[in-house]
Amino acid sequence: LIDACRETGTAMVAFSPLGRGFLAGAINDPARLEEGDMRRNMPRFSTENYPHNVALFERLATLAQALSVTPGQLALAWLQAKGSDIIPIPGTRTPAHMRENLAAQTLRLDDITLTQLDAMMTPDQVAGARYGEAQQADIDTEEFTA
């Protein structure tokens, strides 16, 4: 996707760059999410897939701890390091999380850290699709007008 955007000179907006709170460490148990929370229906948070994804997250959290940053800050700094044409838009519900997210802008990651992150959580390593079948069908058929 990044390559396709760059070929056309288009910036890429990284929607939900913290994985719906997952990369910020905000989800300890998907079964405890509130009724109606859309993440309850997302395959990555299912009973089958979540334990696998938590193991991936723990690697990110360990690296973040070694760098004295939060996992969310590390994820956002990694995106920033990918290029100025990538614009992450993390959601937040609190001023404290907003400040935490903004602090990621000051982080500079060295090449070794970037290489580790690039290999850490690739799409083929993450268990489960981003969206459930019904949600993905809605996205795929959505028509946008200017």
Residue 109 lies in a domain: yes
Number of domains present in the structure of the chain: 1
Residue 17 lies in a domain: yes
Q: For position 143, what pLDDT does the model report?
A: 61
Residue 146 lies in a domain: no
- One-letter-per-residue 3-state SS of the chain: CHHHHHHHCCCEEEECCCCCCHHHCCCCCHHHCCCCCHHHHCHHHCCCCHHHHHHHHHHHHHHHHHCCCCHHHHHHHHHHHCCCCEEEECCCCCHHHHHHHHHHHHCCCCHHHHHHHHHHCCCCCCCCCCCCHHHHHHHHHCCCCC
Q: For position 57, what pLDDT does the model report?
A: 95
Query: How far separated are the first and last CA of the chain, in Å rounded?
Result: 22
pLDDT digit string (tens) for 15-67?
A: 889 999 999 988 989 999 999 998 998 999 999 999 999 999 999 999 999 99
What range defines the domain where residue 12 resides?
Answer: 2-141
Q: For position 134, what pLDDT does the model report?
A: 81
Q: How far apart are CA 81 and CA 143, in angstroms?
A: 32
CB 75 within 8 A of CB 60: yes
Mean pLDDT of the region 85-90: 92
pLDDT band (50, 70, 90) for residue 144: low
Residue 79 lies in a domain: yes
The token pair that represents 120 in the structure block: 């850490």
Q: For position 109, what pLDDT does the model report?
A: 96
Q: What is the pTM of this model?
A: 0.87
Provide the CATH number for the domain around residue 76.
3.20.20.100
Q: For position 74, what pLDDT does the model report?
A: 97
Is the confidence at residue 146, as pLDDT, over 70? no
pLDDT digit string (tens) for 1-18?
A: 889 999 999 999 988 899
Residue 78 lies in a domain: yes
pLDDT digit string (tens) for 107-138?
A: 999 999 999 999 998 889 999 988 878 888 88
Q: For position 127, what pLDDT does the model report?
A: 93
Q: For position 142, what pLDDT does the model report?
A: 64
